[in-house]
Amino acid sequence: MPDFRLPPLNVAERLYRALLMLYPPRFRRAFALDLVEAFRDQRRDARAIGMPAGAFWMTVLRDLLTQTCAEWMTTVWRIVCRTHDSDREESPMSAVPHALRFAELRFAARRLLRVPSFTIATIVVLALGIGATTAVFSIVNGVLLRPLPYPQSDRLVALKHTLEVSGVKDADQSDASLLLYQEHARAFDGIAGARFTDVNLGPTSTSDRAERVSTAQTTANLFDVLRVQPMLGRPFRAGEDRVGAAPVAILSYELWQQRFHGDRAVIGRRMVADGVSREIVGVMPRGFGYPSPTVQLWIPIALDPPHAQAGSFNYLGVGRLRAGVTLAAAQSDLASVLPRLLDEFPSGIPPAMWKQAHVEPRVLTLRDWLVGDVARMLWILLASVSLVLIIACANVANLFLVRGESRQLELAVRGALGSGLAGILAQALSEAALLAVAGGAIGVMLAALGVKLASSVGGSLGLPRLDEVGIDARVLLFALGASVFCAFFVSIVPVFRARRVPIAMVLRGGGRGTTNGPHQRARSALVIAQTALALVLVAASGLLARSFMRLEHVKPGFDADGVVIARLMLPNASYPNGVSRIQFYDALLTKVRAIPGVTSASLGDWVPLSDDHNDTVIEIEDHPLPPNAVPDDHFVAAVDGEYFHTLHMPLLSGRSFGPQDPRRASLEAVVSRAFAKRYWKDQSPLGKRIRPFHDRWYTIVGEVGDAHYDALDKPANDIAYFPMVTPDSGSSVSVPGYLTVFARTSLPANTVTAAIRDIVHSLDPSIPTYGEKSMSDLVHAASARAREMLLLLAIASALALVLGAVGIYGVMAYGVSLRQREIGVRIALGAQPSQVRRMISRNGVGLAAIGVAIGVAVAIAVMRFMQSLLYDVSPTDPTILVGTCAVLLLVALGASWIPARRAAAVDPSEALRGG
Amino acid sequence: MPPRADSHDFLPLKPDAFYVLLVLLHGERHGYAIMREAAEHSGGRVELQAGALYRLLARMLDDALVVESQRRPAPDADDERRRYYRITALGKRVIAADAERMAALAEAARRALRGHAALA
């Protein structure tokens, strides 16, 4: 069939098409195009109904694996029957019960025990392959496949918006949009909102200290939408999320245990959160944590409908779909409601500007939202580890081939005596089944170990739901499936072999000494394939290693060594205005600077490379915009005058801010080099004026060096610094309530953080410090993801390399034993041992070289999927590719050297006599 | 292997095979349409995936229960790339025989249950 029937394929289709190679050629030739066509239709429909990509691929892969196995069995059976002139085509599956009969298994076990080295090697190789694959699958299962721990969680969706404002592509919910959707959307059983707002929890007994507690502020119906009830007390009531409602709070199980020692009389007691006394009305069950597992306290949002802000998208939206409603239908339902937003909540946004922003609702499953872009990484990991399993299978099949060769006589005689090929397949299958079960069992144990390891280090990978990862029924089923796959894979090969050997040839001994038959070609193909696969994995880890080294050398733009940080938050209730706050900060800084060993201390509201984030749109005075255009979004930070000095950020021109005067706010700004360059090229930015959204004009007084605020693997951000004390709407001043103390010191970090904690406590016992750490830890953590990924891939590729080496060794060693007579003749005719050695190793390295060539082509094709994991390294980096090729060829040389030496030591008289 | 001519050689049909033939009784279909309609006709009980369907079709082609259609449906609805399948006379006899077989089973069960109810 001509190929032009297919339009250009996208990535998923190409992947599927490549996977079709698993089918037997005859079937593939007949149906590959139709299968790709059906795949395309199916994928389109799956997307239309909002099926998650992971679930879709699971369905596709399950179909592919079961059907390829079955079709191979059918194919083998057909060939077997044809050779034996059998006119009745039985189902190939009839060999399975035969193979699994107790007697057959016992014979198989005896046969295996007679060849312990073969048995052990096979089991180890299978255990490694199955173990690695199962470990990664159990992570994929826990993170991507298992439903969320809420009733009917498939109906829970995350509600977001897409928009087109420079630098921003998506947004969550505003209080206004939540109110609007709650009122008018028809596709939902409930819509709730939540946001993280950690609070200072005052002491609840005389022995307590104040503590910073991870908190979620939610709409009253959150627990209804999630369908989770408190284990003690009650959920929030309708109306408790309105301004002026009596303040209440719900505790997490952990906080209840910690603070109240599990006292059931806690309901009705009061506690002080951010200066507000709240009544405790409920305790959530153990393990409940929404929007994140770390949340310890839930308090209601104080919604104020007449003053709701349409454009401040600060709330995570979650909804429960009505039964039978699809994601697409829910999304269009919201889209039909959204245009009323500005009518019902004007919020002072010009309608033209709103229109230009193209705000559209977006609905995705809650699981997709939680898992985010980790999904891609995990699928890559599962794919690469599946390659390892295939390598392992190829190796075992290879060892089976080798063993089949030495049992040729036995098989031929059996065949001649009328043991049908059903018996031969059953025999191979029973051995393979035993080996696969043993390998699978050890593999599951290895996987359990691996999962434990992964959960302890995986947190720094940013993996969500890691606490839900474990070995469950589905993982066991997967391991069983992998074992069955292995058993079929390896037992089919000897059957092909048995079919091809004429009995007379074996009995005459003519079967030996030939190395060019289809049999040898199959073995060579296996060696080539696994060299190619190993190359892909080794190249991938090489790329990551290089990327990681580059990342280690990125200069963050500040000097993190010796700087410690401690965060604190002054609640509105006890520090209502800028003047009271700046007094607290002044006292604090004075005392911190007086700590012996502290050389410099300052304040800022954004710790570089932490989770902090602050951005706003900024107008530039000499870059006027067309009317109604939205200015560009920029990172902004509020700092005091000594901040740049404490962090050793170079002041390139101008000056920093002066001392903060609580009575007189200064309208000054400092900008980063990248910011200045963006607007004024090589001109000095000093004296230019900028204006944050809805604010006044600030004059630039200084320019500092660039620093990485967001991430090390992205370009340094352009950022505008504003002073801590800024003018408020009236005559008063505004000072952030949420700040971090930076202290440069030569002392150990924990000595200084303890000192800062005591100072804050002495100034106000209700204010806790939190997030205390050294900044070098932060910089270290910023490259942690790359490091963990590197570690995992390195393990995988080491495995592939070892397995590949074993494979090459097996094939070469076996080739030598087959060619003993030929080698003997050569030596008898005067060949030097060195010539024989060279001949054999050339053979091995030659095979590996073909594998390397194919591997390079595959690597170049697939490495672009790794782009997002790489920093400053091209996915086809020539150094890495060349280096990887060299490594593989060296391994191949090593693996074929031992058999080559054995060949050179062949005693010609023995070889010729014994042949 | 020569096609087996007697429709009773194929009985009983497995559910997925039954639904594929059932769908094709309504006219020529391409692979994905068969998957979708089989799911519809069976109320979602038979959810064939692509690999399973084409293996089934391969067997049915070998057994001459279906053939690849030479004719195309109306040109505007046609999709050049797709292959369409048509049920053969043998295929029709097979599904008819299987339907009769099941009807007989159902009737036997109904009668037995009626007797059972009368006794109870």
Q: pLDDT band at A3, cuts 50/70/90?
A: very low
In a domain, B108, yes or no: yes
A203 and A250 share one domain: yes
Point out the residue among A42, A59, A64 whose CB comes nearest to the CB of B32. Answer: A42
| pLDDT reading at A213 higher than 60 | yes
Q: What integer pLDDT is reported at residue A458 of this predicted model?
A: 61
Which region among A56-60, A204-208, A711-715, B73-77 has the lowest average model confidence (pLDDT)?
B73-77
Give dist(CA A826, CA A822) in Å, integer: 6
- DSSP output for A856-871: HHHHHHHGGGGGGG-S
Which region among A239-253, A497-511, A693-707 has the lowest average model confidence (pLDDT)?
A497-511
Q: pLDDT band at A636, cuts 50/70/90?
A: very high
Which region among A450-454, A553-557, A896-900 has the lowest average model confidence (pLDDT)?
A450-454
Cβ-based neighbours of A798, under 8 Å, separated by 6 or more: none
Give dist(CA B8, CA B94) in Å, integer: 7
Which range is most confident: A28-42, A61-75, A494-508, A526-540?
A28-42
Q: What is the DSSP letter of A20?
A: G
Question: Quick check: A397 and A523 in contact, CB under 8 A?
Answer: no
A750 and A815 share one domain: no
Domain boundary among A346, A363, A394: A346
In a domain, A367, yes or no: no
Burial track A16-25 (b if 16+ CB lie within 10 A, e otherwise)? bbebbebbbe
Which range is most confident: A6-20, A362-376, A539-553, B34-48?
B34-48
Q: What integer pLDDT is reported at residue A79 of this predicted model?
A: 67
Which region among A486-490, A595-599, A847-851 has the lowest average model confidence (pLDDT)?
A486-490
| Residues A67, B82: C-beta atoms closer than 8 Å | no
Q: Which residue of B has its CA nearest to A85?
A: B1
Cβ-based neighbours of A233, under 8 Å, separated by 6 or more: A250, A267, A280, A281, A282, A283
Range of the domain at B18: 11-119
Q: What integer pLDDT is reported at residue A786 of this predicted model?
A: 66
| Tokens read off for A326 | 């699809």
Which range is most confident: A375-389, A605-619, A810-824?
A605-619
Q: What integer pLDDT is reported at residue A88 of this predicted model?
A: 44
In a domain, B6, yes or no: no
B69-81 average pLDDT score: 61
In a domain, A685, yes or no: yes
pLDDT tens sequence across A814-857: 677 667 778 888 888 888 888 888 888 888 888 889 989 998 98
Number of C-alpha atoms within 13 angstroms, CB side, residue A225? 26
Q: What integer pLDDT is reported at residue B56 of this predicted model?
A: 92
CA of B82, closest CA in chain A: separation in Å? 7
Q: What integer pLDDT is reported at residue A565 of this predicted model?
A: 94
Give dist(CA B67, CA A826) in Å, integer: 59
Q: What integer pLDDT is reported at residue B3 of this predicted model?
A: 45
The mean predicted confidence, pLDDT, of chain B is 82
A733 and A591 share one domain: yes
| Residues B82, A37: C-beta atoms closer than 8 Å | yes
| pLDDT reading at A413 higher than 80 | no
CA of B50, closest CA in chain A: separation in Å? 6
Which range is most confident: A68-82, A126-140, A240-254?
A240-254
Point out the residue among B35, B58, B80 whose CB comes nearest to the CB of A30. Answer: B58
The number of beta carbons lying within 10 Å of the beta carbon of residue A627 is 8
Point out the residue among A41, A59, A89 whose CB comes nearest to the CB of B32. Answer: A41
Give dist(CA A555, CA A649) in Å, integer: 11
Q: What integer pLDDT is reported at residue B1 of this predicted model?
A: 43
Q: What integer pLDDT is reported at residue A246 of this predicted model?
A: 92
Q: What integer pLDDT is reported at residue A913 of this predicted model?
A: 64
B110-115 average pLDDT score: 83
Q: Is pLDDT larger for residue A517 or for residue A439?
A: A439
Question: Quick check: A57 and A376 in contact, CB under 8 A?
Answer: no
A80 and A98 share one domain: no
Q: What integer pLDDT is reported at residue A419 of this predicted model?
A: 58
A327 and A393 share one domain: no
User: Which is nearest to A565 in space by CA: A367, A777, A737, A396?
Assistant: A777
Contacts 24+ apart (CB under 8 A), B40-43: B42/B15
- A interface test, pick of B69, B82, B84, B85 with most A CB neighbours within 10 Å: B82
Question: What dihedral do alpha carbons A206, A208, A211, A215 form, nearest 10°?
Answer: -90
Q: What integer pLDDT is reported at residue A220 of this predicted model?
A: 94
- B interface test, pick of A4, A13, A17, A31 with most B CB neighbours within 10 Å: A31
Q: What integer pLDDT is reported at residue A232 of this predicted model?
A: 92
In a domain, A169, yes or no: no
| Residues A67, B51: C-beta atoms closer than 8 Å | yes
3-state secondary structure of A759: helix
Residue numbers in B near A74 (CB within 8 A): 55
A569-575 average pLDDT score: 87
Residue numbers in A near B53 (CB within 8 A): 38
- What is the amino acid identity at position A174? S
| pLDDT reading at A637 higher than 90 | yes
In a domain, B83, yes or no: yes
Q: What integer pLDDT is reported at residue A489 of this predicted model?
A: 75
| Tokens read off for B103 | 């009807």
| Residues B31, A59: C-beta atoms closer than 8 Å | no
Q: What integer pLDDT is reported at residue A712 of this predicted model?
A: 80
Question: What dihedral do alpha carbons A94, A100, A102, A104 form, nearest 10°?
Answer: 80
Q: Is pLDDT larger for residue B83 or for residue A147?
A: B83
In a domain, A261, yes or no: yes
A28-33 average pLDDT score: 87
Query: Can you point out the beta strands (E) in A544-605?
Result: 563-569, 598-604
Point out the residue among A34, A39, A74 whose CB comes nearest to the CB of B83. Answer: A34
- A·B CB contacts under 8 A: 60
Cβ-based neighbours of B39, under 8 Å, separated by 6 or more: B46, B47, B48
A799 and A906 share one domain: yes
| pLDDT reading at A448 higher than 70 | yes
Q: pLDDT band at A59, cuts 50/70/90?
A: confident
For residue A499, what is the enclosing H or E element? helix A473-500
Q: What integer pLDDT is reported at residue A5 of this predicted model?
A: 46
Question: Quick check: A915 and A513 in contact, CB under 8 A?
Answer: yes
Range of the domain at A888: 517-551+783-915
A59 touches chain B (CB under 8 A): yes
3-state secondary structure of B96: helix
A790 and A818 share one domain: yes
Q: What integer pLDDT is reported at residue A87 of this predicted model?
A: 41
A51 and A101 share one domain: no
Which range is most confident: A158-162, A714-718, A786-790?
A158-162
A223-242 average pLDDT score: 93
Beta-sheet pairing, A188-196 with A215-218? antiparallel
A597 and A745 share one domain: yes
Q: Which residue of B has its CA nearest to A20?
A: B51
A317 and A187 share one domain: yes
In a domain, A165, yes or no: no
A830 and A756 share one domain: no
pLDDT over 70, % of chain A: 86
| pLDDT reading at A497 higher than 70 | no
Q: What integer pLDDT is reported at residue A671 of this predicted model?
A: 94
- What Å distances lie between residue A492 and A381, A388, A502, CA to CA? 28, 20, 19
Q: Is pLDDT larger for residue A328 or for residue A469?
A: A328
In a domain, A655, yes or no: yes
Q: pLDDT band at A782, cuts 50/70/90?
A: confident
| pLDDT reading at A97 higher than 70 | no
Q: What integer pLDDT is reported at residue A301 of this predicted model?
A: 92
Which region among A146-160, A340-354, A463-477, A711-725 has the lowest average model confidence (pLDDT)?
A463-477
pLDDT over 90, % of chain A: 26
Give dist(CA A539, CA A883) in Å, integer: 8
| Tokens read off for A449 | 């170990």
Give dist(CA A688, CA A668) in Å, integer: 10
Report the CATH number that the domain containing residue B52 is assigned in CATH: 1.10.10.10
pLDDT over 90, % of chain B: 34
End-to-end CA gap in chain A: 49
In chain B, how many domains are there?
1
| Residues A60, B52: C-beta atoms closer than 8 Å | no
The mean predicted confidence, pLDDT, of chain A is 82
A535 and A477 share one domain: no
